[in-house]
C-alpha cells in the first residue's frame, strides 16, 4: 500500500475484495501488497518465543504488543517491543502536560515487510548524518544507520492504561487508513536504569505549530493547506466517541515545513481521568466555553479549538499569549470574548473562524464541512512548496508570553465557580466584555470582579 493510498474506503474495500492476491505461503488473501496478516502474526509469535525471545518484563505490556502484532494488516499497524539498547543518543527534548519527551535514534528502524529470502524483517532506516552523533568516528559501520524517533514516558502502567492505548491504536489505524495525519506509534521501550516505560513515536522534525506560527504568518497561503490537513484528520475520527479533546498548537506537529500531524489525541483524558471523573484538563485559550463550564469534550469542542488555531495562522502568535490564563480568561471566553481579528484577514475566512468558535456548539461546522471548504481554498491559494521562494521570518522577532500564561495541558478546576457566576444573569450587565485593554494589556475585569467579591 503506497503512502498516498491510505484511503479507508479504498483500503477496506481492497481487503474485502481480496485485491492484494493470495499469500505465496499460506494461500490466504493478503491484507496489503507486502503483508499477510496470518503469516506475519505467526512470525511475530515465533520472534517473541524463540528468535528474539523478547519480553518487556510486564505481562500486560507483552500482551498489548502481541495483540497489536497479531491484528496488524499492514506495516503501519505494527508495534514492537523495542530494546532500550537499540536506542542511542537519547536526549531530553521537552516536557508535555503528562509526560517527558526525549528524542533518540532507533538503530533498527521500523518494519516494512518480511524478507522471504533472508528470513528477516525488512526495515526502514537511513544513513545518519555525522551531526547526529557526539562520537561518530568510534561507531561501527552498522551503527551509522537508524531512524529518528521520540520517546514519551508513561507514568503509570496498569490494565486500564493499556486498554486506553489499545483504543488509541484502533483510532490511529482507522485514521491513518482514512488519509489522516496522525503521529505514528512504533512501539514501547523501558529505560533499564529508571525502569520508566516509554512509547516510541515518529519524530516530527520541525516541532510544534507553536514553534512555527511566525513562519506560517509570513507564508499566508500555508494556512489553507495545513487547516485542510487538520480538518481531514479530525473528520477521520469517524466514530462518535472519537474526539481529540485537547487540540492546541503544541500537539499539532510539523513533519517538515509543509505537513501538519496531530498527536496526543484523547490522551489528556486517557492519562488523567477515569471515565466517571468530572475533572477537566486542557489549555484555556483552546477550550470551548461548554468545556470550561464542566461539560465533556465533544467533536464540536474540537472545532472550537480549530477556530482558535485558524486565528493563530493569521496572527503568528498563540491566542491570548499576553494575558494570564486564569479564571478571568475562562470567564471572558464563556461570555463570548475571542482573539481580535487580524486586519487584512479574508472576510470568508473570518466568517468561518467565527462559526467555529461560536459559543453555541450546535452552530459550529463539522470537521467534514471544514475539510471540504479548505479543500477548495487550498486549491485556490497554493502553498509555496519551493524552499527557495518561501519567505523567512524577519529577525529578530521574539514573542513574549505573559508569565501567567500556560500552554501545557493541566487540570482546570474552576468550572463550578464559573457556572455559579455565569448563572447569575445580572452579571452580564455589569461586566462589559471587549471593552479593550489598559496600557499593560490587562483587561479591566478584575476590579469589577473584586467589587462583586468573587
Judged by the rule CB under 5 A, the positions of this chain that interact with Zn ion are 23, 25-26, 36, 38-39
Measured from the CB of residue 186, what is the shortest distance to Zn ion in angstroms? Answer: 24
Measured from the CB of residue 73, what is the shortest distance to Zn ion in angstroms? Answer: 12
Q: What is the DSSP string of 180-208?
A: --BPPEEEEEE-TTT--EEEEEE--TTEE
The 8 Å CB, 24+ separation contacts for 447-452 are 449/328, 449/331, 452/427
Give whichever of 23 and 93 is closer to Zn ion, judged by the CB atom: 23
Give whichever of 111 and 310 is closer to Zn ion, judged by the CB atom: 111
Give whichever of 36 and 188 is closer to Zn ion, judged by the CB atom: 36
Is residue 208 within 8 Å of residue 107, measured between CB atoms?
A: no
Measured from the CB of residue 28, what is the shortest distance to Zn ion in angstroms? Answer: 5
Give whichever of 39 and 454 is closer to Zn ion, judged by the CB atom: 39
Measured from the CB of residue 18, what is the shortest distance to Zn ion in angstroms? Answer: 13
Cα–Cα distance for residue pair 297/289, rounded to 1 Å:
11
Chain position whose Cβ is nearest to Zn ion: 23
Candidates 419, 448, 454; CA nearest to 433 is: 448
Give whichever of 40 and 254 is closer to Zn ion, judged by the CB atom: 40
Give whichever of 38 and 221 is closer to Zn ion, judged by the CB atom: 38
Give whichever of 119 and 274 is closer to Zn ion, judged by the CB atom: 119
Measured from the CB of residue 408, what is the shortest distance to Zn ion in angstroms? Answer: 46
Cα–Cα distance for residue pair 170/134, rounded to 1 Å:
38
Show the cell assigned to 45. Answer: 509469535
Measured from the CB of residue 116, what is the shortest distance to Zn ion in angstroms? Answer: 11
Measured from the CB of residue 39, what is the shortest distance to Zn ion in angstroms? Answer: 3
Q: CA 355: distance to chain centroid?
A: 23
Cα–Cα distance for residue pair 63/163, rounded to 1 Å:
11
Q: Where are the alpha helices (DSSP H) in 76-221?
A: 159-176, 209-218
Cα–Cα distance for residue pair 426/428, rounded to 1 Å:
5
Candidates 318, 303, 315, 317; CA nearest to 352 is: 303
Is residue 376 within 8 Å of residue 225, measured between CB atoms?
A: no
Amino acid at each position: 500500500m503506497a503512502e498516498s493510498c491510505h484511503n479507508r474506503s479504498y483500503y477496506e474495500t481492497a481487503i474485502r475484495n481480496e485485491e492484494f492476491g493470495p499469500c505465496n505461503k499460506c494461500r490466504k488473501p493478503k491484507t496489503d501488497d507486502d503483508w499477510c496478516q496470518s503469516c506475519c502474526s505467526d512470525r511475530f509469535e515465533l520472534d517473541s518465543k524463540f528468535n528474539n525471545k523478547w519480553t518487556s518484563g510486564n505481562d500486560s505490556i507483552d500482551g498489548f504488543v502481541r495483540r497489536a502484532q497479531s491484528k496488524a494488516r499492514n506495516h503501519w499497524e505494527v508495534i514492537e517491543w523495542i530494546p532500550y539498547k537499540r536506542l542511542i543518543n537519547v536526549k531530553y527534548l521537552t516536557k508535555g502536560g503528562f509526560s517527558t519527551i526525549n528524542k533518540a535514534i532507533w538503530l533498527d528502524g521500523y518494519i516494512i515487510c518480511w524478507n522471504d529470502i533472508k528470513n528477516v524483517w525488512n526495515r526502514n532506516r537511513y544513513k545518519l548524518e555525522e551531526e547526529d552523533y557526539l562520537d561518530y568516528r568510534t561507531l561501527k559501520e552498522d551503527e551509522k544507520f537508524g531512524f529518528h524517533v521520540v520517546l514519551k514516558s508513561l507514568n503509570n502502567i496498569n490494565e486500564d492504561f493499556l486498554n486506553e492505548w489499545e483504543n488509541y491504536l484502533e483510532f490511529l489505524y482507522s485514521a491513518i487508513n482514512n488519509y489522516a495525519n496522525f503521529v505514528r506509534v512504533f512501539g514501547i521501550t523501558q529505560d533499564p536504569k529508571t525502569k520508566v516505560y516509554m512509547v516510541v513515536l515518529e519524530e516530527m522534525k520541525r516541532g510544534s505549530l507553536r514553534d512555527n506560527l511566525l513562519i506560517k504568518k509570513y507564508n499566508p497561503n500555508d494556512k489553507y493547506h495545513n487547516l485542510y490537513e487538520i480538518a481531514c484528520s479530525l473528520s477521520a475520527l469517524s466514530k462518535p466517541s472519537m474526539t481529540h479533546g485537547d487540540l492546541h498548537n503544541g500537539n499539532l506537529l510539523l513533519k517538515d515545513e509543509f505537513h501538519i500531524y496531530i498527536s496526543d489525541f484523547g490522551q489528556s483524558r486517557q492519562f488523567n481521568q477515569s471515565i466517571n471523573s468530572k475533572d477537566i484538563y486542557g489549555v484555556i485559550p483552546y477550550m470551548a466555553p461548554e468545556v470550561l463550564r464542566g461539560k465533556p469534550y465533544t467533536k464540536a469542542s474540537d472545532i472550537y479549538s480549530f477556530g482558535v488555531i485558524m486565528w493563530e495562522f493569521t496572527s503568528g502568535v498563540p491566542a491570548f499569549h499576553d494575558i494570564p490564563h486564569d479564571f478571568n480568561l475562562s470567564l471572558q471566553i464563556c461570555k463570548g470574548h475571542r482573539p481580535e481579528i487580524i486586519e487584512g484577514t479574508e472576510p470568508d475566512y473570518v466568517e468561518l473562524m467565527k462559526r467555529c468558535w461560536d459559543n453555541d456548539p450546535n452552530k459550529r461546522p463539522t470537521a467534514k464541512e471544514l475539510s471540504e471548504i479548505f479543500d477548495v481554498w487550498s486549491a485556490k491559494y497554493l502553498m509555496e512548496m519551493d524552499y527557495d521562494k518561501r519567505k523567512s521570518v524577519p529577525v529578530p522577532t521574539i514573542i513574549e508570553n505573559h508569565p501567567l500564561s500556560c500552554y501545557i495541558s493541566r487540570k482546570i478546576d474552576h468550572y463550578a465557580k464559573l457556572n455559579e457566576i455565569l448563572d447569575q444573569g445580572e452579571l452580564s450587565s455589569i461586566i462589559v466584555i471587549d471593552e479593550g485593554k489598559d496600557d499593560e494589556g490587562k483587561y479591566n475585569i478584575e476590579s469589577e470582579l473584586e467589587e462583586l467579591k468573587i
